[in-house]
Amino acid sequence: MFPKGKLVESRREEAVKDTKKLLDDREGQIFQATFEEDGMYAMVDVLEYDETQQHWIINEVKGTSSNEVKNLVHIQDIELNKEFRKDRKINPKKLLKISDITETVKGLEDEINEQILDRKRLMEKTAEPAPCDCLYKSRVNHCPAFAYLYPDVPDYSVHDIVRIGSSLKSLEGLVEAGNISFNDVPAEFKLSKYQRNYVDVEQGKISIIDPVEIKQQFSGLQYPIYFLDYETYPTAVPVYDGCAPYQQVPFQYSLHVLSAPGAELTHHEYIHTDENSHPMRALADSLTKVIGDSGSIIVWNKKFESKCNEDIAELIPEYAEIFHGCNKRIYDLMNIFSKHHYYHHDFRGSFSIKAVLPVLVPELTYKNLNIQDGGMVMNGWKKMMFDMEDAGEKEVMTEDLLRYCELDTLAMVKIFEVVGKL
């Protein structure tokens, strides 16, 4: 979109000088153009000169795909078009949605200027500012300075209670009463069912186990049972045709199959290693050969795997009936834990498979693998596909990725067996 753009690679004072030089040289497209006023700096993603209107345009580029310019955080940004689908060469003017929000931004001028004055007054003080209001927010919304500003708050506190971010009045009530640790929470303090479970389990170091409900959940499952897990690769700019910005592109699966109660477990797997073909089609070709048209499909986080199936169905119409059918057969094993049919204090509020597995099946661990989490999977596959040239390195990475994904489905099998015996 800005083919003549020149990048300012320096920062602060040097960036201001470099920007001025580019402006003096009459460059009309500048990336990271930087300006200084009264000791404050502003950096522009793309500064562009409009020859027709003879004025400068500030372009701010946002890496999200929201279609609404309402949130103040995003109001000054260009955003990805979530309706975009790659079709051979990327058309940047279709990938990005551009909105002229000049008048909206003008309306923020007074507010921004007041914020600037507040920051300057703060910087002029010699004493540390008063602690922020993060004490009244859930853990995920704490600022980076929280531990420094509140050293007496333990790293596992009432701020970690499940869904407390949606019950800020409850959190405020706990904090104002000095109830910061789990042991401080009174029995009579009003909390939701799940929040009270969370607190009671932590206070008593006990477990909540409902074998009747678990048996009821499993009674609807039909053999053969398939334990399925996908690994995916999302990018802001789609790599493969038919894909949207940030779409989770499945490139690998692991499938453990239990044909009947007590039967021998079988395993199937696939990982895409061909740089010249579409991973979703190749994966679908492989999976449809080994997953039957009947029997329950067990996953961990139904929303994720179901969306992958929907995307495959959209991309490959001839497989649409198969993958939509798979979604009708999916059972989310995580529900046993997220809905507190089985809840252990060592989960520490997390229902990820990596939180549950050490408690229920401690002999099975990810710690001995070279790939140990989803982030490492995405980075490893990216390197293997687009960066590595050595065949030996690629072979090692392929094997590491396969073993990680295999453990994901084997972990589900073992957890299923443990809770099924309760």
In this predicted model, what pLDDT tens digit does every residue of 155-168 receive, in sequence order? 999 999 988 988 88
**Nearest 5°: CA angle at 50, between 69 and 108?**
35
Which stretches within 125-278 are classed as H helix?
A: 146-149, 168-176, 193-204, 211-219
Q: Quick one: pLDDT at residue 77?
A: 53
Rounded distance between C-alpha atoms, residue 281 and residue 243, angstroms: 12
Q: Quick one: pLDDT at residue 21?
A: 97
Query: Coil, helix or strand for 321?
Result: helix
Q: Quick one: pLDDT at residue 67?
A: 52
Mean pLDDT of 211-233: 96
Domains of the chain: 6-111 (no CATH), 133-205 (no CATH), 213-420 (3.30.420.10)
Q: How confident is the model at residue 72 (pLDDT cuts 50, 70, 90)?
A: very low
The tens digit of pLDDT for each residue in 283-340 reads 999 999 999 999 999 999 999 999 999 999 999 999 999 999 999 999 999 999 999 9
Residue of 224 and 67 predicted with greater confidence:
224
Rounded distance between C-alpha atoms, residue 136 and residue 116, angstroms: 25
Q: Quick one: pLDDT at residue 43?
A: 94
The torsion angles phi and psi of 189, rounded to 5 degrees, stand at: -70, 130
Q: Quick one: pLDDT at residue 66?
A: 59
Q: Quick one: pLDDT at residue 400?
A: 97
Mean pLDDT estimate for the chain: 92
Helices (H) and strands (E) counted in the chain, each on its own, are: 15, 13
Q: Structure pTM?
A: 0.85
Mean pLDDT of 356-372: 96
Rounded distance between C-alpha atoms, residue 308 and residue 300, angstroms: 13
Mean pLDDT of 401-412: 97
- For residue 413, which of 267, 216, 302 has the smallest C-alpha distance? 267
The torsion angles phi and psi of 245, rounded to 5 degrees, stand at: -55, 135
Max Cα distance, the chain (Å):
78
Mean pLDDT of 342-354: 93
Minimum mean pLDDT among 57-66, 84-93, 365-374: which range?
A: 57-66
Residue of 350 and 65 predicted with greater confidence:
350
How many percent of the chain have pLDDT more than 90? 80
Mean pLDDT of 233-247: 94
Mean pLDDT of 25-41: 93
